[in-house]
Each structure stands twice: as structure tokens, then as C-alpha cells.
Structure 1
Amino acid sequence: MSRTSLAGDGLRYLIVGGYNTLFTLAVFWVLDRLWGAALGVQPVYWISAVVGILNGFLTQRIFVWRVRGAWRRELAKFAVVNLVVAVLNSLLLFVTVTLLGLPTFPTQVAITSVLIILAFFANRHWVFARAASDTEDGQPSP
């Protein structure tokens, strides 16, 4: 598989990322409605983040970066990228919702919109970078 263009990667990433973002936000919304008052925003966020990270890895690997073969190292890198993004998200939620009193759900949507860009480049250039040297049969070239 040859490396696709930034535009092609970006378009697939936006489509799959849009799905995963909506999926994760839906998980966040449901958890917030069911247990938000009892648990608070941080546990609700972290549970939805873990679910979203796992869903995101599977969908990006298959539909965006189109890589095959060994996946454990990619999953570890993906987890690191998403942990960094999640910590940033959590800190931003703390500042905006807890300290500033902004509404939870719209604030989460805004934060997510900004962090998506950071995650795209980290995934493209680090997590799934081996795709650049893959051959048509999906195996890394020598």
C-alpha cells in the first residue's frame, strides 16, 4: 500500500473521526445524564474517553490508515497519543466547567474540535507511520 495524500488521509480521518467523535460524545452524554450528578464530570469523561479510544483505534486502523499485520505497537502508540489528548481534555474541562462554570456538553464539543487536529498529525506521523513503507500486499517492505 503506498502512502496516500494528506488530503485523502485527511478526508478519511474526518469521516471516521466524525463518526468516532459523535459516538464518544453520545457515550459522554448518556453517562452524564445517567450518572453525571452522582459521579461528576471527570469520571464521566474518562469512561467515555476509554470507550472512544478503543473504538477510534479499530476504525482508524481499518478505514483511515488501512494497515494490516502487527497491531500491538500501534495500539500502544495510539493509547499514548490519546492519553495525552485525554489529559489535555480533562484539564481543559476542569478549567472551563469546574472553575469557570461553563455548560458541560457544549464545552466538551468545543474542546474536542480543537484536539482532533492534534490527534490527526500524531496518528499520521507516529502511530500509523509504518504505512508509508507498506507494499500492496500489506506487508512492510524490506
Structure 2
Amino acid sequence: MINTKLRVIFQKTLSSEKARYLIVGGWNTLFGYFAGLLIYGWLGVIFNVIIIGFIANVLAISMAYVTNKIFVFKTKGNWTKEYIKAWILYGSTTMIGIILLWVLVDIMEIRFWVAQGLVTIILIITAYIGNLRFTFK
């Protein structure tokens, strides 16, 4: 009986686009955040934070596009068109994010993990609005 109720709740949750967006967004946020941390830890002594941010965001943008297309918006076809739109959206926000990372880490001397967290929050809000109104419209 409990399993049946949980299954119904789970199915209702997954039928909601907004709930799927939050779940997938949580995954994408964690992926992007930890990708940035791992790349910084691995290449931080070789490259500055701008290069690290660029590399991490290439991975994060691709992951966000695929997961949103397949699991959230469930659009058919248009892979190239939507991927380009995703790059326009995420590319714009990425540039803002990289500049913010540079200011927070190199100029304000905030620890990278804190700066990455602050930038991530800003990008979550921007990406939600952009995906809803532009990428998968």
C-alpha cells in the first residue's frame, strides 16, 4: 500500500514539467559545480580561472542541453537548432559567470568554491527563464 502511494506520487511528480525541470536542474547544477571544482583542482595550477571557467562551462552547457531536451521539455528533432539556441542562452550567461568568477576570485579574493556557488545561483535563475522562453519554446 505504501509502495503504491509512493509510486503514484512519483508518477505525478514526473508528469509535471516544472518538477522535472527542478530535478534535472538540480542534477545540472551539481554537475556544473563539481565539474568546475574538479577542473580547477586538476588544472588550476596551469590555467587561470577564466580558462577553467570556459572548460567547465563547455561540459556543463552540453549536459544541460541534453538533459533538458530529453527529460524536461521532451522535444522531438531540432537537435541542431535547439543546441545552437542553448549555446546562445548559456553562452551569454557563461560569459557573465566567467567574468563574475574572475572578479570574485582574482580581484575580491573570495575562495573559488564560494564564488562558484554564488555564480551558480545567478545562472540557475537566468537559465530557467531563458529555457522556458527561448531555447525550448
- Indicate whether the TM-score tops 0.5: yes
Which structure 2 residue ranges, 5 or more long, are not aligned? 1-15
Query: Is structure 2 residue 93 aligned with structure 1 residue 97?
Result: no
Counterpart in 1 of 2:8? none
The counterpart of 2:69, out of the listed 38, 61, 86, is 61
Per-residue CA deviation, residues 53-81 of structure 1 (Å, 9 max, x unaligned), is 11111100011111112221111110000
**Counterpart secondary structure, 2:46:** helix
For the pair 1:88 / 2:92, whether they are aligned, the reply is no
Structure 2 Cα separation of the partners of residues 54 and 44 of structure 1: 16
Query: For 1:67, what is the secondary structure of its paired residue?
Result: coil
Instruction: Give the alignment's TM-score, normalised by structure 2.
Output: 0.84
The aligned residue for residue 35 of structure 1 is 43
Higher helix share: 2
Distance 2:114 2:50 in 1: 15
Q: Which amino acid aligns with 2:105?
A: V
Map Cα deviations across residues 44-101 of structure 1 (whole Å, 9 max, x no partner).
1110100011111110001111111222111111000000110010111121111111
Name the counterpart of 1:5. none
* TM-score, with length taken from structure 1: 0.81
> What is the root-mean-square deviation in Å for CA atoms of aligned residues?
1.1
1:10: how far off? 2.8
Give 1:119-138 correspondences, 5 Å limit. 119-129=127-137
Q: Take 1:98 and 1:123, find their aligned partners in 2: how far apart are those partners?
A: 31
Count of matched residue pairs? 122
Between the aligned partners of 1:76 and 1:99, the Cα distance in structure 2 is 33
Q: What fraction of aligned residue pairs are identical, expressed as a percent? A: 30
Indicate which of 101, 110, 118 corresponds to 2:118: 110
Greater relative CO, 1 or 2 (CA 8 Å, sep 6+) = 1
SS of 1:68's equivalent? coil
